[in-house]
Amino acid sequence: MPPRSSSRKPPVPPIPTAAEVDILAVLWRLGPATVREVHEALGKDSGYTTTLKQMQLMLDKGLLARTERFRSHVYESRVPKDQMQQRIAGDLLRRVFEGSAKELVMGALGAQPASAEELADIRHMIDAFDKKKRGSK
């Protein structure tokens, strides 16, 4: 019979909840890390086992992957950062901004003004997208 088990890993994991996103963000920043490391990095005042349990559930949901290392477990994001960020941004885009990327950018820049360098970067990125669009169509 097929393996067994309580830990199923959906091919495409769900959009993470707020708390889960925080954990993912830490893992993206640190790279593969133990529960302890993540817990410290979070800096929240909830208990260690809370973080542990959350990460175990995220494992079940297919959000995290886990490898054994010596005495403890090492977790990492199961879907690459870019891809997950894209999904989250896309989800928000559709639901909150009626699919208008312009409004999303407006909201983001309004909330937290970017530096001149970053603005330039963004401009370049837009150009690249534009070029690709014209090229392919």
Binding site for DNA (CB under 7 A): 14, 17-20, 34-36, 44, 46-50, 52-54, 56, 71-73
CB-nearer residue toward DNA: 5 or 115: 5
Helix (H, G, I), strand (E, B) or coil at 69: strand
Work out whether 44 is an interface residue with a second copy (CB under 8 A). no
Work out whether 18 is an interface residue with a second copy (CB under 8 A). yes
Torsion of CA 131, 132, 135, 137, to 10 degrees: -120
**Nearest in space to 89 (alpha carbons), one of 71, 103, 75, 74:** 103
Q: Which does 89 bind (CB under 5 to 8 A by kind): a second copy, DNA, none?
A: a second copy
Q: Give phi and psi for 64, each to the nearest 5.
A: -120, 160
Q: Which of residues 71-130 bind a second copy (CB under 8 A)?
A: 82, 85-114, 116, 118-119, 121-123, 125-126, 129-130
